Amino acid sequence: MRVTPCLRQNTLSVSAALRERVRRPALLKKIAKPEDLAPLFKNDDYIGWSGFTGVGYPKSVPSAIADHVEAKNLQADPTTKKKFNLFVGASVGPEVEDRWARLDMIARRYPHQVGKDIAKGINAGRIDFADKHLSSECTLDLTYGYYSLHKNHGDPKRPLDWAIVEATAITEDGKIVPGASVGATPEILQSAEKIIVEVNTRIPNLEGLHDINQSFVPPYRQPYLIKHVKDRIGEPAIAVDTDRIVAIIESNKPDNTGPNSPENDESRAIASHLIHFLSEEVSAGRLPKNLLPLQSGIGNVANSIIGGLAEGPFEQVQVWTEVLQGEHISLSWWLGWLTIALLDTFIRFFDSGKLSFATATSIKFSPEGFDHFYAHWSDYKNRLLLRSQQVANSPEIIRRLGVIAMNTPLEVDIYAHANSTNALGSRMLNGLGGSADFLRNAKLSIMHTPSSRPTKTDPTGISCIVPFASHIDQTEHDLDVIVTEQGLADLRGLSPRERAPLIIEKCAHPDYKDSLREYYDRALHECMKRGAGHEPHMLRNAFKFHTNFMEHGTMKVKNWD
């Protein structure tokens, strides 16, 4: 039987800041040091962390566990080596997650990742990873017990041994107030046998920012009674059984978000095409003047779109999305008065007066953006709401609200199948995230990408429009619009044979248009000849762009023979 050692009797002093934040006196008796907790974690433990897109994650205890593993040289001996099963709503800061990966401390990681060292461990076979839509992983599969089917220790009613979560406060009745993300934290807390709470006194108490609802399993699940972006259906904090809280940590470390992807000419051109398209939809009467609630992914294209909307023609826009992110542009070195005006794109969108309300599961601003956000917390708190990812990504709500979904893939093929995760079909880059939750259920499903990307030897060596996607995350059945800096292809109501020429003409880079046209024309001729012309392909050549890149460092094929 596995026995978890007990913490020694608490003799630590409590800071005034922590005493103000932890309003349930009994929990102040559970104050602990991270280094005292580190030895309690055992090999094969199932651990859940709070956090989403590098925000709101625990920092002190995971770092202390890594310190302990390094100091004791535990990974050098198979009898002392520790590898954990790690569950987080999405990605967290590289100083904890990537460090665990470098130390080979992660056996399994679900459901999403973006870290370089995590991806390296996955592709080397050291870390078992499976992509899941973020509306269904921790929020459903974890509470269903699917991820603990092979767990043979601990409380069989609790899928996780540990939950380590960050909070900005604990209320009088023991409820946990998250920080700038919610993610899967409610479900992780619900599923854990033991809970450690890191109360971050560096950032403000964000009480009132959140709308938290309880998870139920079938047949007891309830509908989400949300008809408007502003609607609340839950509580402002997460209810937990305080008897399962074994330790309280005071933390004062910031989220390690770093700079977001900067805009460039390509991303601004994509944004221009897209805003023009949305304007035409309004003129045609298919969208209201303030559009419908927007979902925007991450990256420089998303930044350009949000920046364009802040300067665009639409008023009283609302956002229903997964992550509010932004790129910091500081011009303080030559026009100091513009420093605040050109902060993160979503802050600019708020400050323009054109964004009336936004709901998400996480806020990912640059460090400068967060400084501004926290300093002006009172200006934003009534225009913003954070929910759990099971609600933010709920297909039910996305369909009801008629969300306009916009996300970036790695590649799109000529029939509008999209690959968002695996380069060359095999190498994991990052998890799927919640893009498919939105794209499958939105009123308008849009994917935007540069038409090409550079290689080491060719500035346009990778075509993002390919004959056949080497891995498919989003299917042709889910996507309505493809847009690159070259143009926009409106695919609504079109058959596959109508889609392919349009995508090639509107979206492919000029260096690849002739090659793609020849591929399609030859495939059409061959398939029609044998009575198989619905979605023509030459299977012998379908991945020739990719194999040519692997052999020659470019996707520019000489011929299709």
Catalytic residues: 322
- Asked if residue 166 lies in contact with residue 232, where contact means CB atoms within 8 angstroms, the answer is no
Quick one: which of 306, 317, 203, 247 has its CA closest to 39?
Answer: 247
Beta carbons within 8 Å of 37's beta carbon, 6+ residues apart: 7, 61, 64, 65, 196, 247, 249
The distance from CA 32 to its chain's CA centroid, rounded to whole angstroms, is: 31
The full DSSP string for 446-506 is EEE--SEE--SS-TT-EESEESS-SS-SB-TTT--EEEETTEEEE-TT--HHHHHHHHHHH
- Asked if residue 322 lies in contact with residue 293, where contact means CB atoms within 8 angstroms, the answer is no
Beta partners for 427?
423
∠ CA 460-464-466, rounded to 5°: 110
The distance from CA 108 to its chain's CA centroid, rounded to whole angstroms, is: 18
Spatial separation of the C-alpha atoms in residues 20 and 30, rounded to whole Å: 15
Spatial separation of the C-alpha atoms in residues 54 and 363, rounded to whole Å: 9
From the CB of residue 300, how many other CB atoms can be counted at a distance below 10 Å?
Answer: 20
What's the burial of 178, exposed, middle or buried (CB within 10 Å: 0-12/13-18/19+)? buried
- Asked if residue 296 lies in contact with residue 435, where contact means CB atoms within 8 angstroms, the answer is no
CA terminus-to-terminus distance, the chain: 64
Q: How many CA atoms lie within 13 A of 230 on its CB side?
A: 9
From residue 551, alpha-carbon distances to 91, 456, 547 in Å are 33, 13, 6
User: Quick one: DSSP state of residue 443?
Assistant: S
From residue 462, alpha-carbon distances to 266, 412, 483 in Å are 15, 12, 17
Spatial separation of the C-alpha atoms in residues 189 and 240, rounded to whole Å: 7
- Asked if residue 109 lies in contact with residue 369, where contact means CB atoms within 8 angstroms, the answer is no
Spatial separation of the C-alpha atoms in residues 421 and 429, rounded to whole Å: 6
- Asked if residue 168 lies in contact with residue 179, where contact means CB atoms within 8 angstroms, the answer is yes
